[in-house]
Amino acid sequence: MEWTSYLPPLLEGAWVTVQLAVYSTVLGAVFAFAAGIGKLSHNRLISGISVVYIEVFRGTSLLVQLFWLYFALPVAGQIIGIDLRLPPVVAGILALALNIGAYGAEVVRGAIQAVSRSQREAARALNFTPRQTLRWILIPQALPEMMPTFGNLAIQNLKDTALVSLISLGDLAFRAEQIRNFTQDSTTIYTIVLFMYFGMALVLTAMMKLLERSVGRWRTAGT
Amino acid sequence: MLFGIEWDTSSEWAFAVSILPILLIGMWVTIQATVLGFFVAMVLGLILAVLKAAPLRIVSWPARALTEFIRDTPLLIQLFFLYYVLPEYGIILPAFLTGALALGVQYSAYTSEVYRAGLEAILSGQREAARALNLSSVRTFTHVILPQAIPRIIPALGNYLVSIMKDVPVLSVVTVLEMLNVAKIIGDRTFDYMVPLSMVGGLYLIMTLVASAGVRYLDVMLPKRGFPLR
């Protein structure tokens, strides 16, 4: 078989990988902001939940989390009488997002805490509510500091999408394994797949750089 | 039954207690893979770091490109590549060694950056002072640069040890019987995934907390101003 005949099914898988990466990164960013800001909350309950979430998802393996959501959660649902069987796509996106969100949360928290004290005091003097301070003072200045690390996390997440092939989701890694089982032409297939992931990572890096630049205009002149 | 140990499915608690020894056997494999993978990553990373620092472009540029390539491609695919492609060239390794090698290759890209950053963080004034004292470049490296770089490098490497530990379950795809694979097999046979998989999560949490505490302890204990290497 010609190596070009591998491309259509592999590209189909690559498209699934792209979608997985986009959805889980966006959802992961939501989790990251929720838990990162939550950890700074004065409400003990909210900060407690955030800390537990961050520690659990940073302290265990992504594959363990994925298997837990896909294999164990339905059993847990059975015990309490709720149907918690997730389709592979949902389990995959959720596991990736929860995992990357926990790492992102620490970045969000760190960047918000790094905004200088005088900025908070000025906001307070101007009678900003805590919510307004967060929305208009802290986040706009913290975002540029978060972006480089977010870029690394997005690449990490793209690579991690390969693991969802293990719960039978038809992504690039899954298609590669399928074709290999059929043709036994491992060297060609895995070389192509490695370069496809590399290409996607390069595009993602370039996109994150653009985003970094557009957010960078919020950087204050003084700091 | 697994590894000659029976499980007791009379109640959830009895089940959990009876499979704990089986999971601990898997955990031992996880720890072995972590340590071996980390060792490979340290050695390969050092080689990559030296190549990247080479004054010759023709040496440093490919090393840099290779680091970027390794870092931007998934561990799973690198593992499959090594597992299926190496035998075609007559290199037949047991699954465990292939897995440890894949972990080492993936993380060598990260450790090489740790070495580079650790060495570059030493201020150029130090090099100039060594030069003014007429030290040879070898002695400058072994007696001035290296002793100060080591306390910076070790904690950063330790963080990657924890990351490697969390990536070991990926080796289950090439039939390595590490902790997650063992739990999955127990689940497949008893139709109860929740207990073994939750236990693996808990055991992982303990392992990473202990390892992170160890890294933090090292970070505090290491003399910031460097080691006398004599």
Q: What is the Cα–Cα distance from A160 to A17, expressed in whole angstroms?
A: 10
Contact with chain A for residue B167, Cβ under 8 A: yes
pLDDT digits (tens, 9 = 90+) for B166-175: 999 999 999 8
Interface of A to B at Cβ within 8 Å reads: 55-56, 58-65, 67-68, 71-73, 75-76, 79, 155, 159-163, 165-166, 173, 176-177, 180, 186-187, 190-191, 193-194, 197-198, 201-202, 205
pLDDT tens-place string over residues B116-131: 888 888 777 888 888 8
Residue A149 lies in a domain: yes
pLDDT digits (tens, 9 = 90+) for A154-164: 999 999 999 99
Residue B5: inside a domain, yes or no? no
Within 13 Å of residue A73, how many CA atoms lie on the same side as its CB?
17
For residue A170, pLDDT over 90 is answered with: no
- Minimal Cα distance from A193: which residue of B? B77
Q: Is residue A175 part of a domain?
A: no
Evaluate if residue A220 carries a pLDDT over 70.
no
B29 assigned to some structural domain? yes
pLDDT (mean) for A91-99:
94
Rounded to 5 degrees, φ, ψ at A6 are -75, -25
What is the rounded end-to-end Cα distance, in angstroms, of chain A? 59
Residue A219 placed within a domain: no
In a domain, A71, yes or no: yes
Arithmetic mean of pLDDT over chain B:
89
Size of interface A-B (CB pairs under 8 A): 112
Q: Is residue B203 part of a domain?
A: yes
Residue B230: predicted pLDDT: 58
> At A117, is the pLDDT very low, low, confident or very high (cuts 50, 70, 90)?
confident
**Contact status of B29 with chain A (Cβ, < 8 Å):** no
Confidence bin at A38 (pLDDT 50/70/90): very high
Contacts of A79 in chain B (CB under 8 A): 194
Give A203's strand partners.
none
Q: How far is CA B136 from the centre of its chain?
A: 35
Overall domain count for chain A: 1
Chain A CB contacts of B69 under 8 Å are 194, 198
How far apart are the C-alpha atoms of A220 and B56, rounded to whole Å?
A: 41
Would you call A201 and B169 a contact, using CB atoms and an 8 Å cutoff? no
d(CA A165, CA A159): 12
How many Å apart are CA A49 and CA A38, to the nearest integer?
Answer: 8
Interatomic CA distance for residues B70 and B61, integer angstroms = 14
Answer yes or no: is A176 within a domain. no
In a domain, B167, yes or no: yes
Cross-chain residue pair A197–B173, CB shorter than 8 Å: no
**Does A192 fall in a domain?**
no
Q: Is the pLDDT of residue A223 over 70?
A: no
Q: Examine the pLDDT at A184 and tell me if it is beyond 70.
A: yes
Q: Which residue has the higher pLDDT, A17 or B120?
A: A17
Nearest to B207 by CA among B156, B148, B167: B167
Residue found by looking up tokens 């070898």 in the block: B138
Closest CA to A68 of A54, A51, A48, A86: A86
**Cα–Cα dist B65/A115, whole Å:** 36
- How many CB atoms neighbour CB A206 within 10 A? 10
Percent of chain A at pLDDT > 90 equals: 54
- The amino acid present at A93, given as its one-letter code, is I
Average pLDDT score over residue span B174-200: 91
Domain containing residue A97: CATH number: 1.10.3720.10
Q: For residues A170 and B125, what is the distance between their CA atoms, to the nearest angstrom?
A: 55
Q: Can you name the residues that pair with B69 across neighbouring β-strands?
A: none
pLDDT tens digit sequence for B97-119: 999 999 999 999 999 999 988 88
Residue B210 lies in a domain: yes
* DSSP-derived 3-state class of residue B152: helix
DSSP, res A129 = -
Residues from chain B contacting residue A190 (CB–CB below 8 Å): 77, 80-81, 84-85
Report d(CA A157, CA A28) in Å as an integer: 9
> Going by C-beta distance under 8 Å and a sequence separation of 6 or more, which residues neighbour residue B30?
B165, B168, B169, B178, B179, B207
Burial A101-117 (b: 16+ CB within 10 A, else e): bbbbbbbbbebbeebee
The CATH code of the domain that includes B54 is: 1.10.3720.10
Q: Given this model, what pLDDT does residue B4 score? A: 75
* A130 min Cα distance to partner chain B (Å): 34
Collect all residues of chain B within an 8 Å Cβ-Cβ radius of residue A162: 74-77
DSSP string, B28-71: HHHHHHHHHHHHHHHHHHHHHHHHHT-S-HHHHHHHHHHHHHHH
Does a structural domain hold residue B36?
A: yes
Band the pLDDT of A74: cuts 50, 70, 90: confident
Contact residues, B window 136-165, toward A, CB-based 8 Å cutoff: 165
Please give the pLDDT value at position B171. 94
Domain count, chain B: 1
CA distance B224 to B204: 31
Segments forming the whole domain that contains residue B50:
12-221
Does residue B50 belong to any structural domain of this protein?
Answer: yes
Is B195 within a domain?
yes
Match 């302290």 to its residue by tokens.
A59
**Domain, as residue range, for A101:** 19-169
- Domain membership flag for residue A222: no
pTM, full prediction: 0.89
What count of Cα atoms within 13 Å lies in the side-chain half-sphere of residue A162? Answer: 28
Tell me the pLDDT band of B151, cut-offs 50, 70 and 90. Answer: confident
- What average pLDDT does the segment A28-43 reach? 93
Tell me what pLDDT residue B160 has: 93
